[in-house]
Amino acid sequence: KAGVTQTPRYLIKTRGQQVTLSCSPISGHRSVSWYQQTPGQGLQFLFEYFSETQRNKGNFPGRFSGRQFSNSRSEMNVSTLELGDSALYLCASSGWTGPNTEAFFGQGTRLTVV
Amino acid sequence: AQSVTQLDSQVPVFEEAPVELRCNYSSSVSVYLFWYVQYPNQGLQLLLKYLSGSTLVESINGFEAEFNKSQTSFHLRKPSVHISDTAEYFCAVSSTGNQFYFGTGTSLTVIP
């Protein structure tokens, strides 16, 4: 069974640009969540998509957005990049059946904003 | 509201010595607790989880965690660590949907 695949693994962007990150969940999983990981703030929840609908949203500005396709693949977009957006972005896939369901994480996309 | 506090940011320990990584949680609803491990340049991997039932939870690689409701704790322990256990460990509590509240992490360094 293939794991969670995130592409690209590494990305360098300039301030003001926008970026799109991709996440392919485990086959059969309909829930995809996104997290931002930084040394200062740790792991912070961005949003969750379940069956193409955003079900939960963290406390991030509107520059951060996402979507989920009918095959459960998800994309995350960040517009007008700032230096502080440099982080490891992790995607978590879940065959969610309740809050007791574990999540499977991808290896992440390392975004560097210069 | 839900939150997790990991009391130690760094824990150095000698190889084959025991270790305890501390985690305290706050939750106003039913509690589901998890420990994840992150190796360098990798995503998070599930180590173990507490859902209900027995308060002692074990993983396949020798780690165990005990759920203590009165002390709102879920400390992770291993009786004898190996070099390969060097990693970042995160305690987490789950919420509605596929959403976890993570602690700030504990960096475990095993010294030869």
pLDDT of residue B87: 96
Interatomic CA distance for residues A77 and A13, integer angstroms: 13
Q: Give B96's contacts in chain A (Cβ within 8 Å).
A: 56, 99
Residue type, A60: F
Using the predicted structure, report yes or no on whether residue A98 has a pLDDT greater than 70: yes
- CA nearest to B91 within chain A: A43
Coil/strand/helix, residue A3: coil
Res. A40: pLDDT tops 90: no
Residue A108, chain B, CB below 8 Å: the answer is yes
Distance CA A40, CA B110 (A): 24
- Burial bucket for residue A111 (CB in 10 Å: 0-12, 13-18, 19+): buried
Cβ distance A43 to B97 less than 8 Å, yes or no, reads no
- Longest CA pairwise span in chain A (Å): 40
How much is the pLDDT for B54? 76
Q: Flag whether residue A31 sits within 8 Å of chain B, measured between CB atoms.
A: yes
Interface of B with A (CB under 8 A): 30, 32, 34, 36, 41-46, 49, 51-52, 90, 94-105
**Tens of pLDDT, residue by residue, chain B (112 residues):** 788 999 999 999 999 999 999 999 987 667 789 999 999 888 899 999 988 777 888 887 899 999 998 899 999 999 999 999 999 999 999 877 678 899 999 999 999 9
Q: So what's the pLDDT on residue B62?
A: 92
Task: Quote the pLDDT of residue A46.
Answer: 96
Tokens for B106, please give them: 């504990």
